Amino acid sequence: MELKDYFEQKHGLGVLSTCDSEGKINSAVYSRPVSVENGSIAFIMTSRKSYANIQQNPNAFYLFVEEGKGYKGKRLSLTKTEESTDQVLIESLRRRFYSEEKEQAMSPLHLVYFRVDRERPLLG
C-alpha cells in the first residue's frame, strides 16, 4: 500500500523526532502527514522546537502507531526538501481547527515537505 493510501485509511498516534545542529533531540506528537503526489509527505508545523530544529538539520524521523490491538505502524526516515508559507494551501490541507486565541498563538503555519528516505514497519 502506498503511503498516500496508508495515511488516508489509518488512524493512530504519530511522533516526529528532530535534532538541532548540536545533536539535541526533540520529539513531538504530530498528526498523520499530508501525502504528496511524488511520494513525499508534508507536515503542517508551527514555529516551535521541531520547526526550529528542521531549519538547522534537515533530517527527521516519524513513528506512527496504528489504532487498535497489537503494534502496527510505520517508521519513516525523512529529509526536508522544501517548505511553503502559503496560508491558503495550508488551510486547504488542515484537518483540525482551534479557538481563535490558540490559532493566533500558532501563527504563522508552515507546510514542510520531506522526502521519505526509508520506510520500515513499526516492528521488525
Number of domains in the chain: 1
Look up the pTM and report it: 0.88
At 63, list the grid cell.
513513528
Domain that holds residue 69: 3-121
Burial of 78 per CB tally in 10 Å (0-12, 13-18, 19+): buried
d(CA 6, CA 81): 22
Q: Residue 101 has what pLDDT?
A: 61
Residue pLDDT, tens place only, 60-99: 999 999 999 999 999 999 999 999 999 888 888 876 655 5
Q: Looking up cell 503526489, which residue turns up? A: 37
pLDDT band for position 4 (cuts 50, 70, 90):
confident
CATH number of domain containing 94? 2.30.110.10
